[in-house]
Amino acid sequence: MIVTDDAGIRRILENHKVVAMVGLSPKEDRPSHHVARYLLARGYTVIPVNPGQREILGLTCYASLRDIPVRVDMVDVFRNAADVPPIAADAIAIGAQSLWLQLGVVNQAAAEAASAAGLDVVMDRCPKIEHARLFG
């Protein structure tokens, strides 16, 4: 389901606690780094996905979603919209419960594919911003 309402976003943020962050940057000034730190501070498990890194924030970094050895609830995407379809396919393949596309990232075809496979999909929003707005 493509989620746009506060109740759906709240449900995702309350229940999807293991977050694979695709495109997480090791650079402290990047938005993805700030989001990861925020989520970690609020009890989420963050799994970095960046093929160019071995470790980010002291956490093991994986080259792809399919390399992650644990169950992932949410796939949070910090990549260009054109890069989303294979990420969505991987999110479906690993059994993720939600696909979250960051601010400025909209790919309707990928969202519809993920939704059709049973994933909740959020587009063009940031979980850090939404969490702070809904939970304070």
pLDDT in tens, 90-99: 999 999 999 9
pTM (2 d.p.)? 0.94
Of the pLDDT bands very low, low, confident and very high (cuts 50, 70, 90), residue 122 is very high
The chain-wide mean pLDDT, for the chain, equals 96
Domain 6-113 belongs to what topology?
A: Rossmann fold (3.40.50)
Which residues on neighbouring strands pair with residue 54, listed in sequence order?
A: none
Which pLDDT tens digit goes with each residue over 7-33?
Answer: 999 999 999 999 999 999 999 999 999
Q: Please state the domain extents for the chain.
A: 6-113
Pick left, alpha or beta for residue 55 (phi over 0 → left; psi -120 to 50 → alpha; otherwise beta): beta
Q: Give a three-class secondary structure readout of 61-88.
A: CECCHHHCCCCCCEEEECCCHHHHHHHH
